[in-house]
Chain A
Amino acid sequence: MESTTPSPPSSPEAPKPRPVSRWPDRIFVGFVGIVGAGVLALALAIVAILVYSARSSFNRFGLAFLWGSTWNPQTEVFGVLPFVAGTLITSAIALLVAVPLALGSAIFITTQAPRFLRGPVGTAIELLAAVPSVIYGLWGIYVIHPLMESTVEPWLKQYLGWTGLFSGPAIGLDVLTAGLILAVMIVPTICAVSRDTLLAVPESQREAALSLGATSWETTRVSMLPYARSGIVGGVILGLGRALGETMAVTMVIGNIDKVPTSLLSPGQTIASLIANELLSSISSLQVAAILECGLVLLAISLLVNVAARVLVWRVSGGRVVGVGVL
């Protein structure tokens, strides 16, 4: 191998090395730090602006706002209870319906389905998560609502009316319908997180159970579910967090009545749908302040729920962002 004599590093042909300055590094750190601080400032600003804008409502109603069940723009009496009730009822319905379906699907995908199906089904679920809220709402009005009004709700009234949960006319625009649409919307979140959590269970666990003669379901139940439990719970809480804040789809099918719902077939209002409906059509500045105070309540609930969810999901997945596609 003919090799040319390498010239020493400081040979005359090398251009003089430029002096190194510390300033670009310092400026960069400072700049990036300021931007980072901006993110913190954003969070603080959201709380600050809402608190400030709601001050007249704070001053007028104090703590009683939290359990006030009257919302009357005419007499200027406001309370958040109808909307907290609406939010909690619709979210509860959503969870009751979504969790079994999502968990069942996740189990099927990870244990039963042939491997080649995993990709397409996973993609379908991520597509479901990507569908905007308004489109779910539109579909809710034109597909689910007629179904509820003509078939499902009369059936429920007839066979389950004795429970007292289904009193009132069956118009189909009520908390039940809203809860069902919400369920459809949060299933992808819960399913994706559950699936990722189940997939993270080491194969050795499954193999151990199978080699002892367990059936497929027993294997799942004994070796995978306990392992994945906190991750799944985290996913459920994430789904709950999403349900609490959903606006468009809910506001289109919930009936928009500012009263505490007395049955599952009552129309109602969540905090999110209240804001969507009445912020711009308020008849007094006190109403605006009251609406924004409701927003603060919603923010507080959502943040608490999401912090809880993240802690659980993080712990299981070792800090990885699980289910990114369904944020």
Chain B
Amino acid sequence: MEGTKLKVDRLTAYYGDNPAIREISLDFPERRVTAIIGPSGCGKSTFIRCLNRMHETGAHTRVEGKVLLDGEDIYDDDPVRVRRRIGMVFQRPNPFVTMSIYDNVSVALRFNGRHPREYVDQVVIRSLQQAALWDEVSDRVDAPATSLSGGQQQRLCIARALAAGPEVLLMDEPCSALDPLATSKIEELIGQLKQDYTVVIVTHNMQQAARVADFTAFIYLGGLVEFGPTEQLFERPKERLTEQYITGRFG
């Protein structure tokens, strides 16, 4: 089923007077995984942070253009509400150190509304399952979140984001701080997640994009170079720049 969940229309984002990304237009298909690749510093992180209005939390930042979620511009809406519909997982795992595993996962539910305990329990278990972490922590959900390993903490952050009930999940290089085993576990669960969520993943690792993504966008120096089905982009790239990047001429 291929509708567009998130449509980006001529998005430009500034740090002070410098545009980090320039007039990017892109359609993210619903319930598919779209990867964003490109060399370091090309604006991938800035771009994804505009999709849940995190970019504007920095000092001296500005955004122009539109990002339409189901047809409505998120920049016309309340940022807090936007972020409940579009969740994010960050580069380094950042669980809340003062809270247990259970409290971390349930934090969005507890802070953003009032729900009965049974409902919260259900959501926590479901989210931990979706993040492929439930089997490892089911006997110690009250342990501090910091007692988990790095890879487990990142899966905890994924569960935490999912428990908030988003429709879109943004992942900003989620495996870059993890070892290969932890990385492969997360890549596996991304494959499961797309049944229910639209996933956008920024990665500097092209092989990862090839493994997990249905669609891939190549961004270079703040502009969109090419976008298409992953297989097509990697095997029959339309742009010369794309071809140079994926064959390792620069990066």
Contact = CB atoms under 8 A, between A and B. Distances in A.
A–B contact via C-beta, under 8 angstroms: yes
Interface of A: 1, 3-4, 6-10, 13-15, 17-18, 20, 22
B194 interface: no
Interface in B176-207: 195-197
Contacts of A6: 126, 129-130, 195-196
Interface string B73-93: 000001011001000000000
Given A6-B196, A9-B165, A9-B167, A18 B126 contact: no
A4 B78 contact: no
Interface string B195-235: 11100000000000000000000000000000000000000
Interface stretch (B1-9, B53-61, B112-120, B147-155): B112-120
B119 A4 contact: no
Given A15-B113, A20-B80, A3 B129 contact: yes
A253 B119 CA distance: 70
A9 B166 contact: yes
A87 B114 CA distance: 62
Interface residues of B, number: 18
Contacts of B126: 4, 6-7
A8 B123 CA distance: 11
Contacts of A14: 165
A6 B167 CA distance: 14
B139 interface: no
A8 to B, nearest CB: 5
A53 B80 CA distance: 51
A18 B112 contact: yes
Nearest to A18: B113
B112 A22 contact: no
A4 B197 CA distance: 17
B135 interface: yes
B129 A17 contact: no
Contacts of B119: 13, 15
Given A10-B165, A17-B113, 20 more contacts: A3-B129, A4-B126, A4-B129, A6-B126, A6-B130, A7-B126, A8-B196, A9-B165, A9-B166, A10-B167, A13-B119, A15-B113, A15-B115, A17-B84, A17-B112, A17-B165, A18-B112, A18-B113, A20-B80, A22-B78
22 contacts: A3-B129, A6-B126, A6-B129, A6-B130, A6-B195, A7-B126, A8-B196, A9-B165, A9-B167, A9-B196, A10-B165, A10-B167, A15-B113, A15-B115, A15-B119, A17-B84, A17-B112, A17-B113, A17-B165, A18-B112, A20-B78, A20-B81
Contacts of A4: 126, 129
B98 to A, nearest CB: 20
B135 A1 contact: yes
A16 to B, nearest CB: 9
A235 to B, nearest CB: 33
Nearest to B116: A15
